[in-house]
Amino acid sequence: MQEVKDNHTSSPKKPMIVYYLLALVVIMLLNALFFPSMTSKRVTEVSYDKFLSMLNSGKITEVALEQSDGQLVFTTKDGNTLSYYKTGIWPGDGQRLLNQLRADPKVHFSAKIPTQTNPLLNFVLTWILPFVIFLLIGELLSKWMLKRMGGQFPGGLENAMSFGKSGAKVYVEDAQTGVIFADVAGQDEAKESLKEVVDFLHVPAKYADIGAKLPKGVLLVGPPGTGKTLLAKAVAGEAGVPFFSISGSEFVEMFVGMGAAKIRDLFKQANEKAPCIVFIDEIDTIGKKRGDGGLAGNDEREQTLNQLLAEMDGFDARKGVVLLAATNRPDSLDPALLRPGRFDRRVRVDLPDLKGREDILKVHAKEVKVGPDTDFNAIARATVGASGADLANILNEAALRAVRMGRKSITQDDLEESVETVIAGAQRKSAVISEEEKKIVAYHETGHALVAAKQTNSAPVTKITIIPRTSGALGYTMQVDEGERNLMSLSELKNKIATLTGGRAAEELIFGGENITTGASNDIEQATKLARAMITRYGMSSEFGMVALETVQNQYLGGDASLACSAETAAKVDEKVVAFVKESHEKALGILRDNEAKLHELAKYLLEKETITGEEFMKILNRP
């Protein structure tokens, strides 16, 4: 897609100084045409002979000497009309002339003869002209500052006069740089839902013949980083129509009514360029439920939302104007925005599955040099729950590591290390850890791995390390499922809790209950959270059965959970959670007691190597 500037904001604006100069010319013309009686008196220069003739005839009434040029300025009076004249003094005739002027009773001497000036012209020269000069200097200074600051004023001062303009970026079709569906991987279902919109924009007659109407609005919902914005650009790229892109936060204004004015301007531009696509990112900024605890009943945000609702009702879908919006908080949107006739279709853009993650890695791998030994399937299996943005970051981290290591292409080691960097942070090679602490960490991580390996329904261990990471972890055990898992049984969840408690169980078994450490804090948090979800959300307790005791909000932003039960029930839930975790902890202790010799052997090997693979771990574990 090639970005072009908005017609409403890109037209060259004339400098303000031009308008002030035009106003000054108009004032001068008004002064000359409509106030002729107020114009300045014209001073006529005459010869010295003519001056003497006027003096002898008694017409001169007042005379003054101009010290600057040594000339005489005098006036004559004919009835009520005064005339102004100027003449030079003949050399050597000064004294005689002075005596003659003194002898004439009609002549008065003045220091300076004041000329009658125009009040309007005096106002222009005294007030307007200095103001224009001041504006001219300000214009030159502003251009100089704009050049020094890289072409943009801080705080958007250059747009101070563009009130009510939407400010949307407009893209047009460009086959060289455009985004199409082939550039979007891992979202096959979402692409299928959006291809219908593209087909309608290409062949509207096919749908008009049967009476079908294009959906006015399509809402893309999903977690951050899954490619909602990229999908919207791909729809415009496939359809080959103008694409208006704007963020919901750009409609939030300090002055009431300005957001609504921007909405009107956006839809006006869209109707002029129809067929086209309008994309509003993070629409929850302006589309939140009304009356949701706000202090004002008619604030700026509500006016903006009301205008958006009115515009969606007003525009004709047959023109080919499609409104796309993206959000990761669909539960906070106003119901009026989601009813049929506005956002008719909701498209889920979920986290990619195993095949989707592999496809995303392959798409991003086209932009970097990848070695022949890379296995994207293995990386996809190790990144369960990663979004498209996360996978792009992993590939970029691998490329950066390859450069640091002096290689020309990315290897499998680079990819695996980048996965660990994104998950647990970079290695802290400079961290100083005592031998005693390294021994505790080795037994802790071996305890996790041993409990996981001895349970039938646990994911296989792929890597164990005791190298500290920048996230604060002193070591970790990586488990990777062979395939994609969408459901987990009760026994699998219990095994997972037992694996989480395996580290603390190993510390208790080897070093004694009095010497347990703080290293299990993250394990305890995850085990408690999982045990509580089994009771309150998954209905896996005999005491409460299939009763929802917890509500989840913002499922795409971490899923904040809150109990929806009485205090007495919450206390019983806490007791059940403790029982679940305690039961799994006892199971982990039993497994480690039965395999204590292997625990010592594996921990000793891990202390020597610091990092061991899953194959090495299983080889030692299965060795007699």
Question: What's the rounded mean pLDDT across residues 108-136?
Answer: 66
3-class DSSP state of 361: helix
- Each residue of 579-599: pLDDT tens digit? 999 999 999 999 999 999 999
- Each residue of 17-36: pLDDT tens digit? 566 666 667 666 665 565 54
Q: Is the pLDDT score of 407 beyond 80? A: yes
Q: Which tokens go with 596? A: 């204590």
Most confident region among 92-106, 168-182, 285-299 by mean pLDDT: 92-106
**Strand ranges in 309-381 using DSSP code E only, listed in sequence order:** 321-327, 345-348
Q: Is the pLDDT score of 8 beyond 70? A: no
- pLDDT score of 34: 56
Residue identified by tokens 């455009």 is 178
- pLDDT score of 621: 87
Looking at per-residue confidence, does 158 or 547 come out higher?
547
Q: Is the pLDDT score of 164 beyond 60? A: no
Amino acid at 92: G
> What pLDDT band is residue 152 in, cutting at 50, 70 and 90?
very low
> What pLDDT band is residue 120 in, cutting at 50, 70 and 90?
low
> What pLDDT band is residue 315 in, cutting at 50, 70 and 90?
low
Give one DSSP letter per residue of 372-429, joined into a string: TT--HHHHHHT-TT--HHHHHHHHHHHHHHHHHTT-SSB-HHHHHHHHHHHHH--B-T
Structural contact between residues 532 and 566, judged by C-beta atoms closer than 8 angstroms: no
Q: Which tokens go with 216? A: 């006015």
Q: Is the pLDDT score of 519 beyond 80? A: yes
Cβ neighbors of 462 (< 8 A, separation 6 or more) are: 382, 478, 479, 480, 613, 614
Question: What's the rounded mean pLDDT across residues 599-604?
Answer: 92
Question: What's the rounded mean pLDDT across residues 433-446?
Answer: 90
> What pLDDT band is residue 41 in, cutting at 50, 70 and 90?
low
Helices (H), 460-555: 490-511, 521-536
Nearest CA to 368 out of 408, 412, 416, 420 is that of 408
Residue identified by tokens 């936060």 is 249
Least confident of 51-60, 356-365, 444-453, 537-546: 51-60
Give one DSSP letter per residue of 528-540, joined into a string: HHHHHHHHHTS--
Q: Is the pLDDT score of 14 beyond 60? A: no
Q: How many residues belong to the chain?
A: 624
Q: Is the pLDDT score of 530 beyond 90? A: yes
Tell me the C-alpha distance between 172 and 178, whole Å: 9
Task: Specify which residues 142 forms β-bridges with.
Answer: none
Looking at per-residue confidence, does 139 or 492 come out higher?
492
- pLDDT score of 581: 94
> What pLDDT band is residue 524 in, cutting at 50, 70 and 90?
very high
- pLDDT score of 601: 92
DSSP letter, residue 459 = P
Least confident of 119-133, 177-191, 500-514: 119-133
Looking at per-residue confidence, does 433 or 33 come out higher?
433
The verdict on whether 484 is a catalytic residue reads no
- pLDDT score of 131: 66
- pLDDT score of 38: 44
- pLDDT score of 1: 43
Looking at per-residue confidence, does 8 or 316 come out higher?
316
Q: Which tokens go with 110? A: 């003045």
- pLDDT score of 381: 87
Q: Is the pLDDT score of 614 beyond 90? A: no
The single residue of 397, 445, 507, 508 carrying the catalytic annotation is 445
Between the two ends of the chain, the Cα-to-Cα distance in Å is: 63
- pLDDT score of 501: 94
Sheet holding 276-281, edge to edge: 2-4, 169-172, 243-247, 276-281, 321-327, 217-221, 345-348
- Each residue of 235-249: pLDDT tens digit? 888 888 888 888 888
Tell me the C-alpha distance between 340 and 305, whole Å: 17
Nearest CA to 276 out of 313, 232, 326 is that of 232
Q: Is the pLDDT score of 40 beyond 60? A: no
Torsion angle defined by CA atoms of residues 351, 355, 357 and 359, in that order, rounded to the nearest 10 degrees: -130
